[in-house]
Amino acid sequence: MTGRDGGADLVPLGNSPVVVLVRPQLADNIGAVARAMGNGGLYDLRLVAPRDGWPQPNAWRNASGADRILDNCTVHETVADAVADLHRVFATCPRPRHIVKPVLTARGAAAELREVCGRELRAGILFGPERAGLDNDDMACADALIRYPLNPGFMSLNLAQAVMVMAYEWWTAEDQTVPRRLMTNETRVATKAELENFLVHLVDQLDASGFLRNQPKRPGMVRNIRHLFQRGEVTQQELRTLHGMVTELAIGRRMRGRLEKDVMAD
């Protein structure tokens, strides 16, 4: 899941949420955040009071080519300033307490963000500092909180990982990829007639070899062989290989048979 793509194609695809890092501590993390944003199709980064100032060269070193996101990021003194032009703001928060506020899963938030951005409103997501997370005043700037469903026994989530999960959900919220498909590349899945043709060839040779000599068991054995080859979609190319394998094995057997006869005749 690696390989550097450079950031040449990091051009916004439409209205997407702003990522707001509140008092981030480590430049390495800011760079990793930019990379995760690029992965999920988020482009606008804002920093509120970064601890070590800005810019920080380590961020660019850790962004794996997501330079455009860092180049265009803006720095703000307060959360209120960073969200001033936004219409809807979400705040990630692992353990909300004593607050009356809607709490969304990452997937639920992604769906709402898509809805908001689809109306040409501007949305943002707040992420807190590495150690402490967002404070109560930060969360009061948000419409709703986001809490990821994750292992309650180990919730310690790295900042860039938190952004990754949200960016991934943002992307997949509109992704149409089917959950499973057979990739066949240069070849295509065989038709049932092509598969049948091979099965006839195979059973003929198994009969000739004596493998199916037990007549009462023969129908069940043939059925089981059929089930095996129907289970995964076999491609044309694989059928050609299978035909070749059966032919060669049969020839080998006949050759060996002839050799054995020759030996017996001696």
Give residues 98-117 in contact with a copy of itself (rule: CB under 8 A): 98-105, 107-108, 111-112
Number of residues that bind a copy of itself (CB under 8 A): 82
Partners of 63 in beta bridges? none
- The CA-based angle 171-101-36, given to 5 degrees, is 25
Give residues 48-67 in contact with a copy of itself (rule: CB under 8 A): 64-66
The answer to the question of residue 15 lying near a copy of itself (CB under 8 A) is: no
* CA–CA separation, 52 and 156 (whole Å): 23
Applying CB under 8 A, among 120, 177, 265, 266 the residue interacting with a copy of itself is 177
* CA–CA separation, 7 and 24 (whole Å): 23
Task: Compute the least distance from the CB of residue 231 to a copy of itself, in Å.
Answer: 12
The answer to the question of residue 16 lying near a copy of itself (CB under 8 A) is: no
* CA–CA separation, 258 and 73 (whole Å): 79
Applying CB under 8 A, among 57, 77, 183, 228 the residue interacting with a copy of itself is 183
Closest CA to 19 of 32, 6, 8, 9: 32
The answer to the question of residue 160 lying near a copy of itself (CB under 8 A) is: yes
Structure-block tokens of residue 224? 């089981």
- The CA-based angle 166-3-69, given to 5 degrees, is 50
The torsion angles phi and psi of 74, rounded to 5 degrees, stand at -115, 155
The answer to the question of residue 39 lying near a copy of itself (CB under 8 A) is: yes
* CA–CA separation, 90 and 115 (whole Å): 14
Q: Which is nearer to a copy of itself, 151 or 215 (CB)?
A: 151
The answer to the question of residue 149 lying near a copy of itself (CB under 8 A) is: yes
Is the previous residue joined to 149 through a cis bond, with omega within 30 degrees of 0? no
**By rule CB under 8 A, what string of x and - marks binding of each residue 74-93 to a copy of itself?**
------------------xx
**By rule CB under 8 A, what string of x and - marks binding of each residue 185-224 to a copy of itself?**
xxx-------------------------------------
Q: Which is nearer to a copy of itself, 233 or 260 (CB)?
A: 233
